[in-house]
Amino acid sequence: MNLNAFRENAKIEIEKVKTDGELEKVRVKYLGRKGNLTEVLHSIGDLPKEERPEAGRIANSIKRELEELIKEKKEILEEKKTLLWKDLTLPGRKPFIGTLHPLTVLGEEVQDIFIRMGFSVVEGPEIETDYYNFTALNTPPDHPARDLQDTFYLKDGRLLRTQTSPVQIRILEKHSPPLRIISSGKCYRMDTFDPSHSPTFTQIEGLWVDKNISMADLFGTLELFAKEIFGENIKTEFLPGYFPFTEPSCEQLIQCPFCLGEGCSVCKKKGMIEILGAGLVHPSILKKLGYSEFNGFAFGMGVERIAMIKYNIDDIRLFYQNELQFLRQFNES
């Protein structure tokens, strides 16, 4: 028998098959126990001895080829069946599109408010030196205020910044006033996680240095900021505070947006909530940088804190757990 013609015939028949039943018939016909190929293999014994190995090799390769073709055909038939059962009228699945994290969105919103007031955005490093993070900010090594900010130190003596305030020094070293800058970024303190603390958090720092800047400029700017973030009717109050790098220093409070000053669990019955620290840049800092004739104000806020007040979130850890259910609330579209 011509083995090539045999192979071609088999291929054509497999190709034509349209149903499982037909495919099974073709399989039995060629590869079955009493099939054509089995016959061929048996008849090899009748060939002259020297032709047997070659004929055997060809017959076996045809066998493998046909088995492979039948397997492929089976898969094609299966696929057709599932296609027939697909319900093309089912509504499609909406792909979930990633969105910015709520802290990023709010951080940008805060920065935009200050950009509209003429501030420029600048950046500073997260790994800082002791000098920029403390000493240049009027906090020498023996200063008690260092105890308030438990610091992560690196082996080489540098540290993870505990605040964004070092940006003030870095910018004033490179650019002379008048200037208005805003800077946002991660800060680190050796706190353990609890509902209101996290070892990593986000701060936004502001600095305005010019001539004749007064507390009135500071109050006006920050009051406008609070109204933009919490609404036109929010009431603001400033109380005296303490920071080594500002004199005088203050804290900005807003009327609790949940009870409108009545006193509730969010504001711990106080009616007011602290949102940031601020003050007039300490004259000794400006003097050391060579800007004695200038003065200015600075402020710093925690983005998590602003977000918790704005959205009534009672646990800071929710921002870092990446629970989609939590995150999706901020991006309903």
Residue nearest ligand DAH, Cβ-based: 300
Q: Give dist(CA 75, CA 83) in Å, integer.
A: 12
Instruction: Pick between residue 205 and residue 304 the one whose CB is nearest to ligand DAH.
Output: 205
* Bridge partners for 276 per DSSP: 252
Q: What burial class does residue 160 get, using C-beta atoms within 10 Å of its C-beta: 0-12 exposed, 13-18 middle, 19+ buried?
A: buried
295 binds ligand DAH (CB under 6 A): no
Candidates 173-181, 209-217, 267-275, 295-303 — which segment interacts with ligand DAH by CB under 6 A?
A: 295-303
201 belongs to the binding site for ligand DAH (CB under 6 A): no
Least distance between ligand DAH and beta carbon 90 (Å): 54
Interatomic CA distance for residues 204 and 183, integer angstroms = 6
- Pairing mode, if any, of strands 179-188 and 120-121? parallel
198 interacts with ligand DAH by CB under 6 A: no
304 near ligand DAH, rule: CB under 6 A: no
Asked if residue 128 binds ligand DAH (CB under 6 A), the reply is no
Task: Report 240-269 residues binding ligand DAH (CB under 6 A).
Answer: 243, 246
CA distance 323 to 316: 13
Q: Which helix (H) or strand (E) holds 297?
A: strand 295-302
C-beta of 257 vs 300, nearer to ligand DAH: 300
Pairing mode of beta strands 295-302, 200-210: antiparallel
| Segment 147 to 176, residues that bind ligand DAH, using CB under 6 A | 163, 165
Residues at the site binding ligand DAH, with contacts judged by CB under 6 A: 163, 165, 205, 243, 246, 277-279, 298-300
